[in-house]
């Protein structure tokens, strides 16, 4: 049972890292919407640190799984939590089920926020391109007709 407890502890740490990342991505979105360059710069730095934490916890989880399950094949990266529990010959606990749901929900929220951020950045880039085109194409043309 100690292996299951260890797995739950690792997953809880991974969840905390993902929740931190979600909050940072939300801060980044607010900075994009408010056109606040300084806040965006800070959010990007924090996002890098949060991603590093998520990566470290993911590596811990993968190392734990590799240690516990001897006959792993190349699909270790794609094993579901259910498959890992079955390989360890443990029954699913309510705690594990809740943790899995929270992990899935947090990942979906991060994905959604990232998609929104991508759209916001693309819209901003299109606006800038159009503004530059308007300014550069109309140098020879008067914007205001001053005939009297």
Cα separation of 10 and 6, whole Å?
6
For 111-138, the pLDDT digits (tens) are 999 999 999 999 989 988 888 888 887 5
Using 50 as the pLDDT threshold, list the residues of the chain that sit under it. none
Cα separation of 47 and 20, whole Å?
9
Cα separation of 63 and 47, whole Å?
24
Tokens 């194409």 correspond to what residue?
137
- 68 neighbors 88 (Cβ within 8 angstroms): yes
The predicted pLDDT at position 148 comes to 53
Tokens for 26, please give them.
């939300």
The predicted pLDDT at position 96 comes to 85
Q: Count other C-beta atoms under 10 Å from residue 4's C-beta.
A: 19
Proportion of the chain in helix, strand, coil states, percent, rounded to 5: 80, 0, 20
- 24 neighbors 40 (Cβ within 8 angstroms): no
């Amino acid at each position: 049972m100690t292996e299951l407890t260890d797995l739950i502890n690792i997953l809880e740490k991974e969840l905390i890292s993902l929740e931190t990342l979600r909050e940072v991505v939300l801060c980044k979105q607010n900075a994009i919407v408010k056109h606040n360059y300084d806040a965006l710069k800070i959010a990007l730095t924090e996002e890098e640190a949060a991603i590093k934490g998520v990566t470290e916890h993911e590596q811990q989880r993968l190392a734990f799984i590799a240690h516990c399950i001897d006959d792993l094949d190349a699909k270790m990266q794609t094993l579901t939590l259910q498959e890992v529990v079955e390989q360890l010959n443990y029954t699913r606990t309510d705690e594990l089920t809740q943790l899995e749901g929270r992990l899935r929900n947090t990942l979906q929220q991060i994905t959604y926020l990232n998609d929104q951020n991508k759209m916001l950045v693309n819209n901003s880039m299109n606006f800038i391109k159009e503004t530059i085109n308007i300014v550069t194409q109309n140098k020879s043309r008067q914007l205001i007709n001053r005939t009297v």
